A = this chain, B = another copy of it.
Amino acid sequence: MANHFPADSCFTCPKADRFDWCRHSLSGLTAFDTNKNTKLHARKETIFQEGEPCDGIYCVQSGEIAIGKSDRDGNMVILRIADSSSTLGLSSFFAEREHTTTAIALTPTRVCHVPRSAVEILIARNPKLAYSFFKHVVAELDEMEGLYLANATTTVRQRLIHLLDSVKDRYATSNPNTGVVLKLPLSRCDLASMVATRPETISRTIQQLRSEGIADFREKFVTIPDVARLAVEARRTRTA
């Protein structure tokens, strides 16, 4: 499982620009350092799971993490993707209850776990921090409401295109004259979970997008000849 080793110090946080909320709370960081816990997770490893008690928050230093939720039959959907700019577990932390989602590493990942007590100390010293966290959660709520709506009113093709559009900046590798090339940390199954459909359907939809000249999937690389077209195509229902 996860690789344990001496915790990183917040004062030498490998994340160059730290976390948005962290930048403004440097004075309280010593509380963090005394209790922190840094772990390395391999691909597919679980960082935390639905139903597990939540005893703090997670700072993602590097890697890509899928945040998902599954029902009793084992069906799983990916709600969002967290990366090195993310802080995980905020909602469960503030609700003071078990995790309601599951976090799984999509790539090798380095994560700091900060226990409840340390977070509370930090907030006590800097009350505005709570607002910063609050805004994170609000953004997630807004995101979820949008996802829910999109899922109810669009086709798989539209959702997949929209997904590409929404991650095009995050995963762009190069921009030669052939168009933008994305390197997705997602398998076809992951893509399926993200647009709430089945792998078979994703496969077929990918073929369709290729034939339409919208996006060309090769392994985990996606070539998009005309990025601007994504936004347009995301609204079209008919294949025409």
Chain A contact residues, CB within 8 Å of chain B = 69-73, 75, 77, 79, 91, 94-95, 100-101, 127, 130-131, 134-135, 137-142, 144-153, 196, 235
* Smallest CB-CB A-B distances: 5 pairs: A152-B196, A144-B144, A75-B153, A141-B141, A95-B138
Let me know if B149 and A71 touch, CB within 8 A: yes
A sample of 18 more A-B contacts (CB under 8 A), given A77-B153, A147-B148, is: A71-B149, A75-B152, A77-B149, A79-B148, A91-B138, A91-B141, A91-B142, A95-B139, A100-B145, A130-B134, A137-B137, A137-B138, A140-B141, A141-B141, A141-B144, A148-B148, A148-B196, A152-B196
User: Which residues of the partner chain B approach A151 to less than 8 Å between Cβ atoms?
Assistant: 148, 151-152, 196
Q: How far is the CA of A91 from the CA of B91 in the complex (A)?
A: 13
User: Which residues of the partner chain B approach A153 to less than 8 Å between Cβ atoms?
Assistant: 71, 73, 75, 77
Q: State the number of copies, please.
A: 2
- Using CB atoms, name the residue of chain B closest to A196: B152
User: Which residues of the partner chain B approach A149 to less than 8 Å between Cβ atoms?
Assistant: 69-71, 75, 77
User: Which residues of the partner chain B approach A70 to less than 8 Å between Cβ atoms?
Assistant: 149
User: Which residues of the partner chain B approach A141 to less than 8 Å between Cβ atoms?
Assistant: 91, 137, 140-141, 144
User: Which residues of the partner chain B approach A100 to less than 8 Å between Cβ atoms?
Assistant: 142, 145
Find A152's partner among B72, B77, B101 (CB 8 Å cutoff).
B77
Q: How far is the CB of A53 from chain B (nearest CB, A)?
A: 16
Would you give 21 A-B contacts (Cβ < 8 Å), ordered by A?
A69-B148, A71-B150, A72-B235, A73-B153, A75-B153, A79-B145, A91-B141, A94-B134, A94-B138, A95-B135, A95-B138, A100-B142, A100-B145, A101-B145, A137-B137, A140-B141, A141-B141, A141-B144, A147-B148, A151-B151, A151-B196
Q: How far is the CA of A101 from the CA of B143 in the complex (A)?
A: 12
